[in-house]
A = this chain, B = another copy of it.
């Protein structure tokens, strides 16, 4: 599988395909046409064909897509065939919820560390790891070698913490703070922006659509 031709817009849509294919696979379906997938996902069949053509013709005329193959191919493009060491920075309610979010571990995101500044939280266990003071990050990162940091701290600490994480060699930050972070050199930042969904919801309720 080559991802040379996979555009950024297609990449954004792949997680949704992946989720649907997983469901279809779990239902025991072996192959599916772009038309059936279109109905399920509420996307046009031509959009689906266009998106999935990037993967080099898993869909065959009159056969459709091999669900297992397509699922595996998309998983590979998404890097879900790999294992990632993950740390939580900010082990409050949101950090704890994310650490326990079903499916993360199954998809290869393994929690190896958790950090906070609150005396109430430090020393407690979170999904098998002990929460440490953030000041111990310098000492612990070379041991834990985390790939991804999940950032659930107050906005005012976001930029400085991201810079520190970059210095300590983190490759990706999943940002749940309200700050849009300028990605430090060599670090990919994925902003979560939870409130955007709530704003969209608000619009639809108000406009009655």
Contacts and interface: CB of A to CB of B under 8 A. Distances in A.
Interface string A156-179: 000000000000000110100010
Given A15-B193, A102-B178, A203 B79 contact: yes
B192 A197 contact: yes
A159 B140 CA distance: 43
Interface stretch (A56-64, A89-97, A116-124): A89-97
A129 to B, nearest CB: 16
A179 B103 CA distance: 12
Interface residues of A, number: 57
A137 interface: no
Contacts of A43: none
A159 to B, nearest CB: 13
B174 A15 contact: no
A13 to B, nearest CB: 10
A92 B96 CA distance: 10
A203 B77 contact: yes
Contacts of A68: none
Contact of A180 (B19, B188, B194, B205): B19
Query: Considering the complex of A and B, which 3 residue pairs feature the smallest CB-CB distances, nearest first?
Result: A79-B206, A94-B97, A93-B97
Interface of A: 3, 11-12, 14-16, 18-19, 77-80, 82, 84, 92-94, 96-98, 100-104, 107-109, 147-148, 152, 155, 171-172, 174, 178, 180, 188, 190-207, 209
